Amino acid sequence: MDKQHILNEIRRTAVDGIPLGRNQFLAQTGIKESDWSGKYWVRWSDVQAEAGFEPLNFNSPFDDADVFKSVLELTRKLGKFPTTAEMRLERRSNSSFPNDKTIGSRGSRSVIVHKLLEFCRGRVEYADVQEMLKAVAGSNHLQKPAQESSSPKQDGSVYLIRAQGFYKIGCTRALYRRAAEITNQSANGAVLLHSIATDDPEGIEKYWHERFSAKRVVGINKQSGEWFDLKADDVRAFQKRKFM
């Protein structure tokens, strides 16, 4: 891997003058840590500095108020409590938004919703968001924190299938049965290229649909929204993920 190519990619993928973190950079470019660590630089901050950026400071943790305010603003923006995939998308376009691990460290989905409701209490500026959160907290699929452990996760998969010269990205909780159905529906058969295990199939499917939205193919069938004209780099990016 050429050193100048890595520097050029850091500059190309920077958002509003801010370079990506190493994990985001890997996801965007396919350039692994082993391509540069110990060969050209020691630390990721050294790479960013040589590319002409001030290294990101990961030593300043978000406090609870910062995290809660960020999630509340995203909830208002979306009109609903965000999925993990939607938080990741927001992080990609807004570097000030905390990553999903930082948010997840505050507790499970149900715990965070109840903490947000407590945070909103007495803050009139979040009255509209509070009503959205109350609807989530009162729904059947989100139990109170004390009861959460009794509700098993609905694990599933997000899959990539090639058929008819295009690629289908969908989600299912019965992977091989779904793959067989698509194969039977295609005149020339289909090939299951990869699947990503997840406890949020719908959210992760939406993430990949939005990531490849510019490559969406229209008119294959009634589910044309799930078909894409992908390139080899796109397929490799999907195949790198085993879990999300």
H or E segment to which residue 194 belongs = strand 191-198
Q: What is the pLDDT of residue 155?
A: 75
Separation CA 204–CA 28 (nearest Å): 16
How far are the Cα atoms of 104, 202, 212 from residue 159, in angstroms, in the given order?
A: 25, 11, 14
For residues 221 and 163, is the Cβ–Cβ distance under 8 A? no
pLDDT digits (tens, 9 = 90+) for 124-175: 888 888 888 887 776 544 444 444 444 444 578 899 998 878 889 988 888 8
Paired strand residues for 192:
161
% of the chain beyond a pLDDT of 90: 8
Amino acid at 213: S
Domain ranges for the chain, please list them.
Answer: 3-50, 64-150, 156-239
And the tokens for 196?
């990503």
The DSSP line for 126-164 is: GHHHHHHHHHHHTSTTS--GGGGGGS----EEEEEEEET
Q: What is the pTM of this model?
A: 0.39
